[in-house]
Amino acid sequence: RMDLTEEGRYFLERSRQVLEQMNEMEERLSMNRQTPSGRLRINAAAPFMLHAILPWIGEFRRQYPGIELELNTDDLIIDLLEQSTDVAIRIGELADSSLHARNLGCSPVQVLASPAYLEQHGTPQRVEDLASHCLLGFSQPESLNHWPLRHAQGDRFSIRPALIASSGETLRQLALAGEGIVSLSHFMTHEDIRTGRLQVLLSEANNGYRQPIHAVYYRNTQLALRIQCFLDFIQRKLAMYAC
């Protein structure tokens, strides 16, 4: 029995890696020669569906007329098999999972308020000033009430909300109505900021935290082309929201 030298083992391992890369490239080329078609069932939290997917659905359908979309919203983490879902979009850190995950980008988290609220209550100049303001927070998870603000006690500012809601979209609407100050992800507020409906606060104290955005799905060769087309498309659109 002959044993490989260290150089031989290295060559064998590199050869395997090259073969895997060639197989992956061949699979991608084969997929690119096909026309994507069939049903694609997508699940996302309501704010992401509303602000980051729905505005682009018309363009996607014109580009891929053979793909039939089914769009579902759920603010909780779902079981893809139980909910008959092909791909789910998840915001934030991913838990360990047997699912295949693809990073689609990230979205800055900012502290915001409407001009009407600021006119009535004043604009906080320091993080400590927030103690005298009406803060809007999440009922769950508690981690969403740790705002990305540097202050004397650390890099996260834990708030005591005066008003709580389970949905980021509800909190956005409350902020737009002048009910308080909120911390939300840029993917759902970029248009409000652009039009002046919401103003960014305490940007110098922001610690730069960005929420990761992932797509999760089971590996399935029959679905692979549909999923790849959709995720490539959405990833390009999400890049427009970076700030």
Kindly indicate the confidence band of residue 14, based on its pLDDT and cuts at 50, 70 and 90: confident
- Residue 26 has a pLDDT of 55
- Residue 1 has a pLDDT of 46
- Is the same domain home to 136 and 198? yes
* Most trustworthy range by pLDDT among 93-97, 133-137, 204-208, 214-218: 133-137
- Residue 92 has a pLDDT of 83
Kindly indicate the confidence band of residue 155, based on its pLDDT and cuts at 50, 70 and 90: confident
Weakest mean pLDDT among 84-88, 91-95, 117-121: 91-95
Region 54-67: mean pLDDT is 96
- Is the same domain home to 99 and 147? no
- Is the same domain home to 70 and 94? yes
Strands 67-73 and 38-44, by their bridges, are parallel
- Is the same domain home to 99 and 175? no
Q: CA 109 to CA 203: how far, in whole Å?
A: 10
For the chain, give the percent of residues with pLDDT over 90: 58
CATH no. for residue 100?
A: 3.40.190.10
Kindly indicate the confidence band of residue 12, based on its pLDDT and cuts at 50, 70 and 90: low
Amino acid at site 130:
L
pTM, full prediction: 0.78
Does residue 27 or residue 202 have the better pLDDT? 202
Q: CA 225 to CA 106: how far, in whole Å?
A: 24
Weakest mean pLDDT among 42-46, 67-71, 200-204, 237-241: 237-241
Weakest mean pLDDT among 115-119, 186-190, 212-216: 212-216
- Is the same domain home to 118 and 185? yes
Tally the domains of the chain.
3
- Is the same domain home to 42 and 87? yes
Does residue 121 or residue 102 have the better pLDDT? 121
- Is the same domain home to 202 and 126? yes
- Is the same domain home to 144 and 92? no
Q: Which domain holds residue 101?
A: 36-106+216-241
- Is the same domain home to 112 and 205? yes
List all residues 6 or more positions away from 111 whose beta carbon is below 8 Å from its beta carbon: 147, 148, 149, 181, 182, 183, 200, 201, 202, 206
- Is the same domain home to 139 and 188? yes
Q: Work out the mean pLDDT of the chain and round it to a whole number.
A: 86
pLDDT exceeds 70 at position 233: yes
Select from 93, 87, 61 the least CA-distant residue to 72: 87
- Residue 76 has a pLDDT of 67
Instruction: Report residue 152: phi and psi, to 5°.
Output: -60, -30
- By CB atoms closer than 10 A (0-12, 13-18, 19+), residue 93 is exposed
- Is the same domain home to 102 and 114? no
- Residue 217 has a pLDDT of 85
- Residue 221 has a pLDDT of 53
pLDDT exceeds 90 at position 32: no
Weakest mean pLDDT among 66-75, 114-123, 177-186: 66-75
pLDDT exceeds 90 at position 137: yes
- Is the same domain home to 154 and 166? yes
